[in-house]
Structure 1
């Protein structure tokens, strides 16, 4: 049940606090660089300084601090985690890394638990459908990640509870029109026993990662190339079989080009990605390796001083390179074209976009979105939007032997949002209402079927404020979901969620305190516990600039050692600490 007293305390504390004085730019919401306050959608942007300052243990923990996002974990760092944006399934969020669609073609989504924060420069989260610009999977939102673009040499090292330790280095070299960058690191942890009713062992992980990139400016445009490799190993506990360890490997290679030709800005990108996860035990090994080749091109221009256009094409081929069981089909191709318009005149802003996707061996799908905003006064904005979205059936649903159903329809949604925004130099507040109907949800035990209608609606309130050296970020989400077949709530979606972070920044040091609350969650009819209780977690941290080159940071999570679960049966971390050091030579 929601605790209004906690909400009142946190809201009151917000009024002594702060918005950052750096203007955030949204790159992915409209596929063109747009000031965040001019985007007619709910967007959160975290730059590298924001990511470092929050001192999150891993990427899922960081994202769970943001408005409209809930997290369900099967243990600790490295183990499986489910991320739900505005009540959507994990597979209803598209993850884009450096502009490239990412994730497993068999699972149908990107696992984030082994994507290191040390490799991330920027995160942009768009809440709400974006299929009209990005195609399949963007039903509930888009998480767009930009990998490290180091501006200088930087060394980092960290240690923490449960045997956590890691180190990474980033370097940059400039020669005339050529810029070379590289980031590499290693990380590991002993972990803790995530299922005490199963193996009496610790479930840890280790990984190593590297990125190398080059930018070359010529008269013919800016050319870019990069390669990312992230490999690792993690342990887990399961009641199904004896396989309780896994090797992972993710590789991405891309080349890109962009150029301003007259009034038109052109950009193109070609990429190849590989996603590999092989679980194993004493008696067996189950590899799943998928790949994706992708090409995208887009052009943008101002048609008039009030009307802007963006449009392009997108092609990608997904394939199953290796699997524990042979699939009936191992490859498919998606071809798409999209276009969008943005109109601004005085206080009125209008947006529209549409996209056509055609998938061989499956069919075509049209998606669209429209939005309108009106600046009521200098500080008040009201906006409304409606959009359709879809998710194409995964390889598992379409082609896996014994489970496949080639007659499956896509999962589809229709979403509405109305928001009011108040913004000044020191305060930004947003109240948003959203509603989404999802049809043809794919489920099945013996065979995949389109069986489910789900309804999702909710309210998000966020407040960011700054007063001198004090700052605060507060968000509250209310969510109501219903499985149209059973009448039950959707699994692992709490009705109420609160996130608060207050900080004080001095010349050489800073401190922060966090509080995160979520109400009880329905775990499903087949879970070991049908309903899990709500919980509140507190955190504390700080940093100190020892010298202009050397900084130290420390934090404590789950300050009061709360015993809780976000996934039935799976233990979560108790009180734990982390210490990190950063060195940047001058």
Structure 2
């Protein structure tokens, strides 16, 4: 696939890597959008890349905080660090977002979504965010997009790093990472710990602080073999203890991912990728120390993928196998399911155009066969502007809770279905890199939990919805100043039933992010503005949460070539707001960090 040398860098939407020369940044490789390696300017999808340098510059403490600055992303959080967190991408629900860690699908099979509060930012090397459906490559869960998290990778020499932080609400953290390697072997090992006393998260309940703590560890080891072959294995885990208000008020959660990946170069033009792994999501809930419930889910997956170069074109084809298992203190009618899938994508050059065709068939033993597809076309309009258009279908399978939860599941549910059109422009003008995207998504058979005649909440395929959106983003470098920003305008509408014409609940319709950073010798500083308008608490639109805007400040000073001190003030103006009804968000917070980071 050819390179469009003046396209916008996918990294501009957030903490921009504009400090690197454009010639270097243009060569940056992404793998999530097409399940194969592309430079950021080759991909026809809307992609955001956040690397370790961006994470360090942001001084973020959670994965959700990092990705919140991505165009079209809105976060829900039930009371601060460690509390239940959901990500709404382009107006789609949190359950419509597929999350991968090093290529392994993660999340709760009972809830059907990922607990973002349990993702450990200290383990992250890089995040790729694909905005828009990818079911034709990944199957269920990818109706809204895909977030792939890559854990820390090795280095060519022994490189230790560590950091310690302290801040508001008795928040403390420590991270240690060791990387190394040589021409044939590389490794990365790390451990972390975070704790906070928290604050009174829930309004009108127990007047107490709701604390949180976790411990994490990870390793990733790989080797290069003769003939161009590669093998790596990886493991990551987070073990947490959470306090909150409610009928149950304590939760112990354990998340783990274990995997192995191999790359076999069969010929100069044919590579076979093999990935196998298991993810665990375990939660035990208690009330004042007395056991209440437990939900343990396990996902086993195997993927065989062929990348075959046919001249200047590329065929990607393979099979995916996934088995979900559930163990719980509640009795589910079914506790496992197997999903088998075949997929293919053909990327070709047609004159000055790039064209992509993708098709996938999923066969699930609970809801049968489902086929999705996509087509995308991109063409340069001139030497500075590129146009792309795409259409894709997607689906979301019902979760175990939707189907079999003992207190209200519905085994007759069918998968949600959707289709999306998108038009986009990317370009550069007067050293300003910019991108604009216009899209529309329609959902059928949306699953909603509603009360029946007896007042019991049960799920059913009742809703249809239509989401329209416009995203604008730009980035600019002026000497040592970096400027970037984005705005998203959304119209997420219920299009059937008694709430027809209302906005979908928990979705903001206007989202703004502005970032500025400055390097001044050994000193650097920056600021971020994040703003959203109001969101409704139900599809009936009878109650809403007010809009808000927060300002964060950050600064860092390089004490020596290895030692760095950093400071951050979040929510500088002490804005009071909620993203989930009845749950406070933190006021002004302070964080001081001392880091050892050899170059």
Tell me the residue number matched to 1:226: 234
Tell me the residue number matched to 2:51: 47
Contact 2:233 2:260 in 1 (8 A): yes
* Structure 1 segment 250-399 matched on structure 2, within 5 A: 250-262=255-267, 263-282=269-288, 283-305=290-312, 307-320=313-326, 322-399=327-404
Q: How many equivalent residue pairs?
A: 565
* Pair 1:530-2:543 in alignment: yes
Tell me the residue number matched to 2:114: 110
Q: 2:521 aligns with which of 488, 507, 512?
A: 507
Contact 2:519 2:525 in 1 (8 A): yes
Q: Tell me the distance in 2 between the aligned counterparts of 1:451 and 1:558.
A: 39
Deviation at 1:150, TM superposition (A): 4.4
Of 364-373 and 254-263, more deviation after overlay is shown by 254-263
Tell me the residue number matched to 2:413: 408
Contact 2:261 2:276 in 1 (8 A): yes
Deviation at 1:219, TM superposition (A): 2.8
* Pair 1:438-2:443 in alignment: yes
User: Aligned with 1:51: secondary structure?
Assistant: helix
Contact 2:154 2:187 in 1 (8 A): no
Q: Tell me the distance in 2 between the aligned counterparts of 1:35 and 1:279.
A: 45
Tell me the residue number matched to 1:147: 151
Q: Tell me the distance in 1 between the aligned counterparts of 2:205 and 2:149.
A: 36
RMSD: 1.8
Contact 1:19 1:427 in 2 (8 A): no
Q: Tell me the distance in 2 between the aligned counterparts of 1:44 and 1:496.
A: 19
Contact 2:135 2:142 in 1 (8 A): yes
Scaled by the length of structure 1, the TM-score of the pair is: 0.93
Q: Deviations over 1:233-265 (max 9, x none)?
A: 111223xx2x11100001111111102222112
Deviation at 1:20, TM superposition (A): 4.9
Of 53-62 and 40-49, more deviation after overlay is shown by 53-62
Tell me the residue number matched to 1:136: 140
Deviation at 1:169, TM superposition (A): 0.8
Q: Deviations over 1:496-534 (max 9, x none)?
A: 11000011123322111111111111111689x811111
Q: 2:431 aligns with which of 426, 430, 433?
A: 426
Q: Tell me the distance in 2 between the aligned counterparts of 1:569 and 1:318.
A: 33
Of 176-185 and 74-83, more deviation after overlay is shown by 176-185
Tell me the residue number matched to 1:5: none
Q: 1:450 aligns with which of 456, 461, 467?
A: 461
Gaps of 5+ in 2: 1-13, 452-456
CA 1:425–1:269 in 2, change beyond 3 Å: closer, same or farther? farther
Q: Deviations over 1:109-130 (max 9, x none)?
A: 1111121211111001000000
User: Aligned with 1:37: secondary structure?
Assistant: coil
Deviation at 1:416, TM superposition (A): 0.6
Tell me the residue number matched to 1:546: 559
* Pair 1:188-2:202 in alignment: no
* Structure 1 segment 227-242 matched on structure 2, within 5 A: 227-238=235-246, 241=247
Tell me the residue number matched to 1:467: 478
Q: Tell me the distance in 2 between the aligned counterparts of 1:93 and 1:213.
A: 25
Gaps of 5+ in 1: 1-13
Contact 1:458 1:478 in 2 (8 A): yes
Tell me the residue number matched to 1:580: 593
CA 1:342–1:439 in 2, change beyond 3 Å: closer, same or farther? same
Q: Tell me the distance in 2 between the aligned counterparts of 1:462 and 1:338.
A: 32
Q: Deviations over 1:271-322 (max 9, x none)?
A: 11110011111343211000011100111122122x21111110010000x2
Q: Tell me the distance in 1 between the aligned counterparts of 2:146 and 2:370.
A: 19
User: Aligned with 1:203: secondary structure?
Assistant: coil
Q: 1:162 aligns with which of 164, 169, 172?
A: 169
